[in-house]
Structures are given as structure tokens and as C-alpha cells.
Structure 1
Amino acid sequence: MHDNALHETILLVLGLLFAMLLLVMLGQKLRISYPIFLVLAGLALSFVPGLPLIVIDPDLIFLIFLPPLLYQAAWDTSWKDFWRWKRPIALLAFGLVFFTSTIVAYVSTSIIPGFTLALGFLLGGIISPPDAVAATSVLKGVKVPRRVTGILEGESLINDASSLIVFRFALAAVVSGAFSWHEAATSFVLASGLGLVIGLAVGYGFYLIHKYLPTTPSINTVLTFIAPYVMYLLAEEFHFSGVLAVVSGGLMLSYHSHRVFDANTRLQTASVWSSVGFALNGLVFILIGLELPVAVQGLGNYSLRQAITYGLIISAMVIVIRLLWMFPAAFVPRWLFRSIRTQEVSPGWQGPVIIGWAGMRGVVSLASALSVPLLLSNGQAFPQRNLILFITFVVILVTLVFQGLTLPAIIRLTRVADTEERMPTDEQEAGIRLRLRHVALAHLARNYEADIRDNEMISALQHRMQAEAQRTGNLLEALDYDESKRRALQRYHQVLLDVLQVQREELFVLRQEDVFEEEMLRHQEAQLDLDEAKISHMPH
């Protein structure tokens, strides 16, 4: 019996993964961001007759999905950008979360019969954090200032922690029937601060392992998957913030990764994490859509029409709250502090509008709602649990689909421009490469003069780097948008890719001849792949 259940679970997961991949490909054809498309597809699948009811264990999301997804987000976040925009990030991740939770608490108690203030704060904590994956996946298709994406990514790293803390305090108040602001504030500071400390301590431990033990790229890659779970579980064991532990540890290890990882480890780790992160996110979003039957069940004294009305009112409210918060958060500090006005460029009205509209809810909101217990400590049913779950589902659906689908149009209508003076990305990339070539040439000339004179291979290395520096310099000139040089550069890339394809076809011929070992052929194929990847990342 147990084997049959395990067999069915494995088949279900594999089926969902395969369906998710097909749906993502279809969404790409339709030019719809994959989180939005997967939620809609999951919603449609939930109406298929005979499809088994899929009930998500919240521990599955909190323990299996959340640590690696947070770790990947922290790893990909620029610490420099995070620190640079720490004020707007903190105002969103802490200020807006608490403000949203408070407004939702008081409004929900006034419009929903039998809804207590503790239940209102519970609902507010559940639906206050936006989902970063949804926002950034939509933003990938449009051009927005780096400030906008940096703030959204930074906000998403912290707001999960602050909202979960609100959620847990409200849950404790519902269960115990008592609530103390002083105790809640003290617990919040302790949970946040010690969560950060645990994350940094565990991160430093893994840093030492990566640096001093005889690891390989495969071992390092596996260690990067173990690290977020150790950080999260250790912090949660002591009732501290596991989310902040993973975020702080991930940021620290990412910042120091160049000191402990070699090239092969970086390439392998990035490739594996990209695929795993995509699969985890895809599964979560399709599961959100499939949860509709669970959300509808057991509404009790409330009709479906009433529940939808409450959900739509609260959805509209969280959208409006975020938009209203953005402008005071963006401009009041500028009015109060002259140093901000002199050091920072004005964000304009477009940036706050885009960030305000990018408030799609997702994974953490669903997991929090599902983790509300069925029973109180006295054995009675948890009050309004199914209504809270249904409202959460409506908020996720409305914000993800409505705001997600309209966000690209909002960005185009605002005609937002990057107000910070910055080199074009093509020019930045070429400039970095030229700087690296010059440093390498200077190092060779300073330290290996005799080798350059006596060793043909080292002399050839110097000549190759000189030629690369010359090509990069020519590229910078071409980026002045002289049309003839631009066309010549594009033709250069086309020829390089064509030559690589011919070499790859020759490798296939060599495999048929059975003269060379497969391992050596794969090594050369990997070199060609790296060369092609390098060309594809060059400015076009």
C-alpha cells in the first residue's frame, strides 16, 4: 500500500514537471510570463473532471522549496546594489509589510462578519509580501532602470521574513487569545537579529569548507544545495527567522564566492542552480493554480459569491495601499534630508509607479495560508481558516494575473528612462574586457620578461592578448554607432558562430571514425560550447 502511494506521488510529480515544461514553452510562444501562465493553466486543470485533488503540505513549500529559492535569489543579488538602495528596500520590506498588514486587519474586520482583529492581522501577514520571481520574470521582457529591478529584488529578499513574523505573532494571538505589542516587538528584533547571525555563522562555516577542504566542482555544487537547508533549519529550530538566515548566509557566500570557487565550479554551479531554480519555481506556480478546489471547500457560512467579493475588495485594497505607499516612501526622505537630494538622482514619478504596480503575490502567501492549523489547541476548528485560504487565493490570482499582464503596458505608458548617468551595457562589457586585457599585459611584462623572450608559448600568449586588446578597442570604437563598423561587428560574430558550427560537425564525424576517446571529444566539445557562450554574450 505504501509502495503504491509512493509510486503515485512520483508519477504525479513527474507529470506536473512535464506539464510545466510544455506550458512554459506555450507561454513563451504566446509571450506571457511563465508564472502567470502556469497559474492560469493550473487553474484550468483544476476543473478537469476526474483529476485528483492535490493538497499541498505547507511544510513541502517551507522546508523543500523556500530555502533553495531564497538562497538562489540572494546569490544572484548584487550586494553593492542591495546596500546602495537599502533605504527604499527597507521601507518596502518592513514599513510597507507592517502598514499593509495593519490596514488589511482593520478593513477585513469591518467588512467580514465574525472576523477578529487577530484574524485580520493573520490575513494581512499572509498577503503582504509580493513575489519576486513573478515580478522579475515580467520585467525581463521590458527595459526598466536598474534601480527598479534592484529595489524589487532586494525587497523580495527581506519581505518574506517580515511578513512571516507578523503571521506567526497573529497566529499565536488567535491560538492563545492574548497579544502583547511589547512582547511582539521584542520577539521580532530577536528573531530577525539572531536569524541574521545564524545565517552569517553557517555561511562562514561553508566558506571555510569551500576554501580549505579538498573539494571538487561536484562537491562544491552539492554543498551549495546543503547550505540553505542548514541555515534555515538551524534558525527555525531556535524559533528565529529562517528566511533571514538563508538570505544573510547566501549574500555572504555570494560576495566571497570568487575567492573559493574556481572556473569549473562557477560554470557547473550556475548551470545546475539555473535548472533547479526554474523547475522549483515552475512547480510552485502550477500548484498555486491547482489549489482552487482546496480553497473553495469548506467556506462554511459564507457563499462563494460572498467569498469572491471579500477577496476582490481586499485584492483592490492591497494594490492601492502599495501604490499610495510608494510616493511618500520615495519623496519624503528627499524632502527631509538634504544629503539624499544631493547624493541621489530623483526617482521621478515613473519608478514609484512601476515598483508600486509590481506587487504580485505568490509562493510565500500560499504556503502561509496553507500552514494555518485545522484545529486550535482546545480541539475546536480554527476560525475562518477556509475563508482566509480562499481570500489568499483570490489575492494571488488577481495580483499575479491582472497586475502581471498589465505591467509591461504600464512600463511602456510611463516611458520610464534610466535617470542615472551610466554607460550603455555594450560599452560597459567591452570596457571591462579591455581593462582586464591591459592588466594581464602589464602583469606579463612586469613579471615574465625573460619568459616572453625565451619561451615561444609565453611569447605567443602575450601576442594573443595584445591582439584581443586591439579587437576590444576596435569594438569600443564600433559601439560609437558608426553604422559600417556596426555591420562589420555583426558579420564578425556571424562568421565566428559559423566556424564553431563547422567544428562541432567535425567532432560528430570524429565520433563515427572511432579513433579518439569519447572523453577527449567531449572535452573539446565543452571548449567549443564555452567559445560560443562567450560570443553570444558579446555586444551585438
Structure 2
Amino acid sequence: MDVMPLLSLVAGSAAVAGAARRTPVPAPLLLVAAGLAVSALPGVPAYTLDPGVVLPLLLPPLLYTSTRDSSYLGLRAHLRAVALLSVGYVLFATFVVGWAAYLLVPGLPLTAAMVLGAVVAPPDAVAATAVARRLGLPSRVTTILQGESLFNDATAITAYKVAVAAAVGEGATWSGGVMEFLVAAVGGVGVGLVLMAPLHWLRTHLREPLLQNTLSLLIPFAAYGVAEQVDASGVLAVVTVALYLGHRAWEVDFATRLQEEAVWRMVAFVLESSVFALIGLQLPVVLEGLLRTHAGAEAAWYAVAVFLVVVVTRFVWVYPATFLPRRLFRRVREREENPTWKGAMVTSWAGMRGVVSLAIAFSIPAVLHDGAPFPKRDLLLFLTFTTVIGTLVVQGLTLPPLIRLLRFPDRSPQEETLAEANAQAQASRAAERRLEDLLRDERNALPQPLADRLRAALERRRNSVWERLGQTDPATGESADDTYRRLFREVIGAEREVFVRLRDKRYIDDEMLRTLLRRLDLEEAVAHREPL
């Protein structure tokens, strides 16, 4: 087995994604563009997007890491809006896009057209949420977009299965499709509910961080696989488990949390970079089959038309779904904050499609039950590809300027810092009371310098946040907290240099050096804090 194409894909994707951080262009767009450019080079191997790999091996970890970083309380607060997008919109887009394709493409059966509708229905919000966070969109819009991306794949995959069953002649009916959707959804959530408590118990009772993180890497695959074995939604099973574990992550050992965050950030970076590059690399595979059956100009017209229908359909759904419930139901007006037309505009335009659509498209069967070729399969692959590329390029490039043009109210760093300071003050007071109670117990007797060191650490944490609200040093532009962290890094660095010099002189061995450096690393991690 030749592993060089895979290694080249991962290394090249990581390099492009790293370079993208130095540009204003979102990384997914540069990765897709790089994939398109590389696919045209002579000698580049064909990277075929195998749905048997993407769906069970790539989708679960990407879903898991996205869900762990989301807010359970935020999703619950905006559950109605998330459900309207992740279920209502996906089904609406399936029918509208499918019907439009049926009217547009001569000879395309309605059932096959509905397959296309289900394939291109679910947006991939990875790029959109990255832009939203960077440009400071209101948290409500960001939470809704992120929530939609967690659940809409389950709706689209179920709708796709129903449409394919009807297209290949398995006698599927719409009523049967609705029942299959309900069974898959309830089953997926049910599997997640069954698994989440035992998995959390394991995470909190394993004492070795290495074992805990190994378990963490296996969880999304286990949840997805168990659900798929019972014909339930693996996507919803993964999301349910990840929401619960993320919400209860504070109960896990600190060393596990530190390692887990680093591990999953690396996994998400590699997978997201690779899958977006794979989208661009699919061009030769898609064109190879298409050009045997369709003229280029004809296929281009179909692609533009389907792209426009996909874009317009989202606006047609989002605006009524955003404002009508408030007009119709007093309970919605009382319980939810008032949405704005600006938020609806961004939500409508943030409908970029991604790798899940392409993976589903490549799983379209080649033949029907009677042995005949699947109607216009090559064209369906092409239209999926152009829709994905079109939304990523057109909407992805214009989304940041649109957000700036709409001029959303800026988040107040002062208010956020004040809220953080108040929370830290309450926690510090509780910690101080607990410390004094412990020190009064003779079994916890400490020398006075060590007891004072514990008190000083609590005071340092309490004061550090308030210091960011104060004046900065006119000479350096730093707050007292910034200066403290910089000086702490300098003195830690001086200690490291001494340890390395002693190792080089053979006064200590490498094992002792690693022990000493890890101790310094942990101390530096405690003192370090990312800037707001």
C-alpha cells in the first residue's frame, strides 16, 4: 500500500491551513483552492472521496470536537431556532432543490432529483462559525449556526436514504420515510443517552490521563458505530454523548483536560484541513464521468441554476422561520430575545456546503435494483461538487465583508472582563474560606511560608483580572498582569537554560531533565493566559 499520497495530503493541507492564518481569507477557502490547483498538476494521484471512510471515520471525530466546544445551555436556549434550521430547513431545501432539478434537467426522474436535494441540503458551518468568532458576531447567531451544523447532517443523511430507496426501486413511501426519520432520530438520541453516563463514569474513574485520552479518542467512533448497528442516527448519538461529556468536563482530572484539549485541537486541525483539501482534489474524478455524457456548457448552466436555487432557498426559509413565530406565539416573544434582520441576513448567507455533501454524493449507488444505471449519477456528482465549491467561494469570501458592512454592535471587552473578575472574586472568596477551614485542622499543618504561598496564589488569581481593568504602563502598554506574565516567562526561561546546561555537562541525565522541565511547563501553564 502506497502511503505517500495520504502523507502528502495531510502535510500539504496542514501547510496551507497554517499559511491561511496569516491571511484574512478563511482557511477552508484556501484549502479548497489549493486542492483545485493541485488536482490540475500532472502526475498527481486521484484522491477518491470514499464515503465508507468519510462518514464513519472522519465525521464522528469532527462532530465530537465541535460539540464539545459548544454550549449545552446556549443550544437549549435557542433550541427552537436550531431545530427549524437543522430539521425544517434541510427538509425544505431537499424538496425545493429536488423539484427545481427535476424541472431543470430533462430526463431526470423526480426520485433521483430528490437524492440531489438531500445531498446538497445540509450546510457545513465550520467556515461560517470561524468567521463569526473572529469578527465578533453576537453569541446568539454563532450558537445557532453551530447548533445547526451539529444536527443537520443527521436530517440530510436520513432524507438521502429515503430518497435513494425510492430511486432504486425499493418501494419506499413518503410516510415510510417520515417514520424512518423519526426512528433514526429517536434511536440516535436514545443510544447517546444510554452511552453518555457509563462513558462519563469511565472518564472520571480512570486515574491515568493517557488511558482517559485514549478513551476520549474512541468515544465518537463507539457512539457512531453502536447507533448505526441498530439503524439509528450515528450523528445524533455522537452529538448527544459529546454535549453531555462537554457539559460535565469539569469533573475530569485537570491533567486529562489539559492533554485532551491539546489532542483534540490537533485532531480537528488535521481532519478539517484534509477534508477541505479533498473537496478541491475531487475535480478530476467528477469531471471524468461527466464529460462522457454531457456537454460542458449544458452542465455549467445546470450548475449555476442549482447553486442559485440553493442560495435563494435559504433566504426563503430563514426570514419567515426567524420572525413569524414571534408574531404568531406570545410565548416565543416572552421567552426569547428579539432577533434582528441583520442576524437573519448573516444566517441566510452563511449556508456554505462542505465535505459531508460530497461524501453522501459519492455513496449514490451506481445501478438500480433492475440493474440499470442510476439516472444521471455523474451529473448529480458534478452538481454537488459545483454547489459545494460555489458556496464556499462566493459566500465564504463575501461573508466577512457582509458582517463588517452590517456593523453589529461591538462586544464590550470591559463588560466581559468585569463579569470575569466578579466570577473570579466569588470563587476566590469560597476558596479562601475552604483553605482557612483546612489549615485549622492539625492534620493539615503547614509551615507558615507554604501556607502564605497558598494564600498568595489565591490573591494573585483574584487580582489579575481586576488589573486588566486598570491603567496600562505608559512605557510598555502592558497592564500589571501582562508584565507579571512576561517576567514570569523570563525567569522560567532562565531556569530552563540552567537545567539544560547541567544536562549537557552530565551533572543530571535526560530523564531528570524531562522531569524538571515538565514541572516548569506546568508552572508556566498556570501563569499563562490567552489574551481576550
Give the TM-score range, shorter chain: over 0.9
Aligned residues of 2:204 and 2:253 also touching (Cα < 8 A):
no
Which residue among 484, 495, 506 is the counterpart of 1:503?
A: 495
Aligned residues of 2:133 and 2:142 also touching (Cα < 8 A):
no
Q: Cα deviation per residue 1:71-114 (whole Å; 9 max; x = unaligned)?
A: 11121111111111111100100111011111101111111111
Cα deviation for residue 450 of structure 1 reads: 4.3
Q: What is the SS of the residue equivalent to 1:201? A: helix
One-letter identity of the residue aligned with 1:425: E
Cα deviation for residue 359 of structure 1 reads: 1.0
Is 1:476 aligned with 2:470?
A: no
Is 1:186 aligned with 2:179?
A: yes
Q: What is the SS of the residue equivalent to 2:352? A: coil
Aligned residues: 528
Is 1:237 aligned with 2:242?
A: no
Q: What is the SS of the residue equivalent to 1:141? A: helix
Which residue among 250, 253, 263 is the counterpart of 1:272?
A: 263
Aligned to 1:519: 511
Aligned to 2:216: 224
Distance in 2, Cα, partners of 1:46 & 1:363: 17
Distance in 2, Cα, partners of 1:205 & 1:447: 33
Aligned residues of 1:42 and 1:289 also touching (Cα < 8 A):
yes
Aligned residues of 1:105 and 1:120 also touching (Cα < 8 A):
yes
Aligned to 1:50: 43
Distance in 2, Cα, partners of 1:296 & 1:386: 8
One-letter identity of the residue aligned with 1:317: V
Distance 1:511 1:329, change over 3 A: farther
Q: CA RMSD in A?
A: 2.4
Distance 1:120 1:424, change over 3 A: farther
For structure 2, list consecutive stretches of 5 or more residues without a partner in the other structure: none
Aligned residues of 1:478 and 1:486 also touching (Cα < 8 A):
no
Distance in 1, Cα, partners of 2:264 & 2:192: 20
Distance 1:90 1:49, change over 3 A: same
Aligned residues of 2:10 and 2:270 also touching (Cα < 8 A):
yes
Aligned to 2:285: 294
Q: Normalized against structure 2, the TM-score is what?
A: 0.93
Aligned to 2:8: 15
Q: Cα deviation per residue 1:25-49 (whole Å; 9 max; x = unaligned)?
A: 3322333211111111000111101
Is 1:353 aligned with 2:345?
A: yes
Q: Cα deviation per residue 1:200-242 (whole Å; 9 max; x = unaligned)?
A: 2122232232234x44111111111212112111211222111
Q: What is the SS of the residue equivalent to 1:29? A: coil
Distance in 2, Cα, partners of 1:106 & 1:357: 22
Is 1:386 aligned with 2:378?
A: yes
For structure 1, list consecutive stretches of 5 or more residues without a partner in the other structure: 1-5
Aligned to 1:3: none
Is 1:86 aligned with 2:87?
A: no
- Within 5 A, what are the aligned runs for 1:357-436? 357-417=349-409, 424-436=415-427
Distance 1:525 1:431, change over 3 A: farther
Distance in 1, Cα, partners of 2:414 & 2:186: 38
Q: Cα deviation per residue 1:177-201 (whole Å; 9 max; x = unaligned)?
A: 6342211111111111011111221
Distance in 2, Cα, partners of 1:27 & 1:466: 40
- Within 5 A, what are the aligned runs for 1:266-345? 266-299=257-290, 300-345=292-337
Distance 1:93 1:449, change over 3 A: same
Distance in 2, Cα, partners of 1:423 & 1:91: 34
Distance in 1, Cα, partners of 2:512 & 2:350: 49
Aligned residues of 1:134 and 1:362 also touching (Cα < 8 A):
no
Cα deviation for residue 422 of structure 1 reads: 9.6
Distance in 2, Cα, partners of 1:113 & 1:38: 35
Q: Cα deviation per residue 1:393-441 (whole Å; 9 max; x = unaligned)?
A: 001101011111111101100001269x997333333333332221110
Distance in 2, Cα, partners of 1:211 & 1:367: 36
Aligned residues of 2:472 and 2:479 also touching (Cα < 8 A):
no
Aligned residues of 2:192 and 2:223 also touching (Cα < 8 A):
yes
Distance in 2, Cα, partners of 1:454 & 1:34: 53
Q: Percent identity?
A: 35
Cα deviation for residue 514 of structure 1 reads: 2.6
Which residue among 31, 35, 40 is the counterpart of 1:38?
A: 31
Distance in 2, Cα, partners of 1:437 & 1:230: 40
Distance 1:328 1:446, change over 3 A: same
Larger deviation: 292-301 or 354-363? Answer: 292-301
